[in-house]
Amino acid sequence: MKNIRNFCIIAHIDHGKSTLADRLLEYTNTIAAKDMEAQVLDNMDLERERGITIKSHAIQMDYTLNGQPYVLNLIDTPGHVDFSYEVSRSIAACEGALLIVDATQGIQAQTISNLYMAIDNNLEIIPVLNKCDLDSANPDEVADQIVEMLGCDHDEIIHASGKTGMGIPEILEAIVERIPAPEGDPDAPLQALIFDSVFNPFRGIIAYFKIENGSISTDDFVKFVATGKEYHADEVGVLKLDLAPRKTLSAGNVGYIISGIKTSREVKVGDTITHVARPCDEAIHGFQEVKPMVFAGVYPIETEDFENLRASLEKLQLNDASLTFTPESSAALGFGFRCGFLGLLHMEIIQERLGREFDMDVITTVPNVSYRVFDKKGNVTEVHNPSGLPDLTLIEHIEEPYIRASVITTPEFIGPIMTLCLSKRGELVRQEYISGGHRMELTFDMPLGEIVIDFYDKLKSISKGYASFDYHINGFRESKLVKLDILLNGESVDALSTLTHADNAVTFGRRMCEKLKELIPRQQFDIAVQAAIGAKIIARETIKAVRKDVTAKCYGGDISRKRKLLEKQKKGKKRMKQIGSVEVPQKAFLAVLKLD
């Protein structure tokens, strides 16, 4: 055990952790030169296209230092705020972390939040300054920021470059010398923490675990503590680029187990594996249950695909434990699911993956957050979508979730960023200079409902990409919320209704009507698009009818002939309006998300 090192890589998005991981794998000859490609651990097409890590990946490397062989288990982690749950799971399986900071950009919001998560778990932190080979790098200035934040010495910071391979030998030496070996008793009853799982169509569910105590062998009879199910371990092994079977794995190791599990509900991330014959006394205290922040309805375009959608979501949930879903129905869209996501990027990624990996065409409704509704009898209900709101006469008050947001930026963008946050009903808590006055950290209390739609995109554009943003939930507060309904020809479209603050309702309703007027195709009759709060109409647009010129065949003659034809057409239009239905295209639902 003393020759095992488990470590993860944490950093802000786009600070070069996947590229650095490539160099470590190359240097330790874990991957042959012919198999080497950029971001080798990002094996999803989507990750490569967007240049982001979505899923944390584990891989084992062999390394020799001073004639002594070591086993290094690396877990690469995502950097985007929406995937911080993945990071918390990786941290739970490690004893140390490489903290990577981009020498051209300095410390960003996500660097700080991931660092605190690692420190809370008592990980040994090795600071690495990446991209030192670039002309725009400021290694000395950024090193001062790291020293100020971590309280370490200057000579503990490793200067490196994922592109050129500079500093890689020093990083590997530091991993062996500074990160402690895992503690645990190989002879105690088996205790293994499941930190991830994937679905394989041929072999069932593969669970990834870290062994805290004891050992596990192929053909052992094991039990999953949380679900109480028992299985034979058909195969155990370690994670190289592919799965590498082993006869036995003992305490301190990271590996995988295949036991022919077919249903996704039987594997819970954070569960403990133990032996049936000699069980452990208690389960491992892993990480907390994930709390979704943003809720949206996901509906199949074809109604008969409902069961396929359920199966697809269950398989996706294995790869991504932070996705939650419950069945719901809508008058406009039929049967579907109410899904909980960690943020808007997460929602977009899930939608893409449903299309690519499972061939599912889905409609996603407007995202919203969960509100607490207090009625006059003193009962509290959680409401995720507008249709679940009780009658207004029964409501005492509504509370909405607030977040504590921290924005790190350079001083020249402070004005526009403050304007943006205050327009989103934010309250400035404090502002302070960090790293010698070159950076500023602004802390706001803001309603989560205001930032779920387009806040992040706006922040990036007004700060030219220089502001970084991070947040955590900070309780609930009473708020004046109203339900905004969209009516087409007097009929409410429940998929387009939203809960919004009373101050924003009129402008939001107006913008929504204008947008829908552009996107809904014209019919043979006039369509009234209205926004309403209860019985009060606050905005209206009319989509004009497509008309045929019925008087074209009358040339000359008496006016009464034309009038007769026009009257006949008018009656037809009226009849059509009573029986005609309005199709709302998918892009109308999506456009509402991008309202600006």
Residues 247-285 pLDDT 10s: 888 888 888 888 878 776 777 777 788 888 887 777 777
In angstroms, how far is CA 456 from the centroid of its own chain?
13
C-alpha to C-alpha distance for 399 and 405, rounded to whole angstroms: 19
CA atoms within 13 Å, Cβ hemisphere of 31: 19
Backbone angles phi, psi at 281, to 5 degrees: -70, -40
Q: Among 398-402, 478-482, 580-584, whose mean pLDDT is lowest? A: 580-584
Q: Which letter does DSSP use for residue 263 in this model?
A: -
Query: Residues 394-405: what's their mean pLDDT?
Result: 86
Confidence of residue 55 (pLDDT cuts 50, 70, 90): low
**Residue indicated by tokens 């639902």:** 589
In angstroms, how far is CA 418 from the centroid of its own chain?
25
pLDDT digits (tens, 9 = 90+) for 21-39: 878 888 887 776 666 665 5
Confidence of residue 322 (pLDDT cuts 50, 70, 90): confident
**Residue indicated by tokens 């359920």:** 310
Token couple for 348? 């977009």
Residue 517 has a CB neighbour count (10 Å cut-off) of: 16
Whether 520 and 512 have beta carbons less than 8 Å apart is answered as no
Whether 243 and 209 have beta carbons less than 8 Å apart is answered as no
Whether 423 and 488 have beta carbons less than 8 Å apart is answered as no
* C-alpha torsion 370→371→374→379, nearest 10: 10
Token couple for 437? 């006055």
C-alpha to C-alpha distance for 274 and 282, rounded to whole angstroms: 10
Terminal-to-terminal C-alpha distance of the chain? 56
Confidence of residue 435 (pLDDT cuts 50, 70, 90): low
Whether 253 and 226 have beta carbons less than 8 Å apart is answered as no
- The helix-helix angle for 17-27 and 168-178 (nearest 10°) equals 90
C-alpha to C-alpha distance for 189 and 185, rounded to whole angstroms: 9
pLDDT at 473: 78
Q: Which residues contact 36 (CB under 8 A, 6 or more apart)?
A: 22, 25, 26
**Residue indicated by tokens 């802000």:** 12
Residue 421 has a CB neighbour count (10 Å cut-off) of: 22
Letter for the amino acid at 119? Answer: I
Share of the chain above pLDDT 90, in %: 0
**Residue indicated by tokens 């036995």:** 248
Query: Residues 366-372: what's their mean pLDDT?
Result: 79
Rounded mean pLDDT of the chain?
79
Whether 257 and 216 have beta carbons less than 8 Å apart is answered as yes
DSSP, collapsed to helix, strand or coil, labels residue 355 as helix
Q: Which letter does DSSP use for residue 495 in this model?
A: G
Whether 469 and 405 have beta carbons less than 8 Å apart is answered as yes
pLDDT digits (tens, 9 = 90+) for 539-566: 888 888 877 787 778 877 788 888 888 8
pLDDT at 51: 62
* Concatenated DSSP letters of 27-83: HTT-S-GGG--TTTT--SHHHHHHT---S-EEEEEEEEETTEEEEEEEEE---SGGG
Of residues 365 and 419, which shows the higher confidence score?
419
What pTM, to 2 d.p., does this model score?
0.68
Query: Residues 439-448: what's their mean pLDDT?
Result: 86
C-alpha to C-alpha distance for 152 and 100, rounded to whole angstroms: 14
Whether 299 and 335 have beta carbons less than 8 Å apart is answered as yes
C-alpha to C-alpha distance for 108 and 518, rounded to whole angstroms: 40
Letter for the amino acid at 543? Answer: I
Whether 14 and 460 have beta carbons less than 8 Å apart is answered as no
Q: Which residues contact 263 (CB under 8 A, 6 or more apart)?
A: 314
Residue 185 has a CB neighbour count (10 Å cut-off) of: 14
Alpha helices in 78-156 (DSSP H): 84-92, 109-120, 139-150
Q: Among 82-96, 164-178, 495-509, 560-574, whose mean pLDDT is lowest? A: 82-96
In angstroms, how far is CA 561 from the centroid of its own chain?
65
C-alpha to C-alpha distance for 327 and 330, rounded to whole angstroms: 10
pLDDT at 331: 64
pLDDT at 174: 86
DSSP, collapsed to helix, strand or coil, labels residue 552 as helix
Letter for the amino acid at 402? Answer: Y
Strands 68-76 and 362-364 turn out to be unpaired
Q: Which of 325, 321, 282, 357 is nearest to 85 (CA)?
A: 321
pLDDT at 316: 82
- Reply yes or no on whether the pLDDT at 471 is more than 70: yes
Token couple for 586? 């998918």
Q: Which of 227, 182, 242 is nearest to 41 (CA)?
A: 242
Token couple for 290? 């994930």
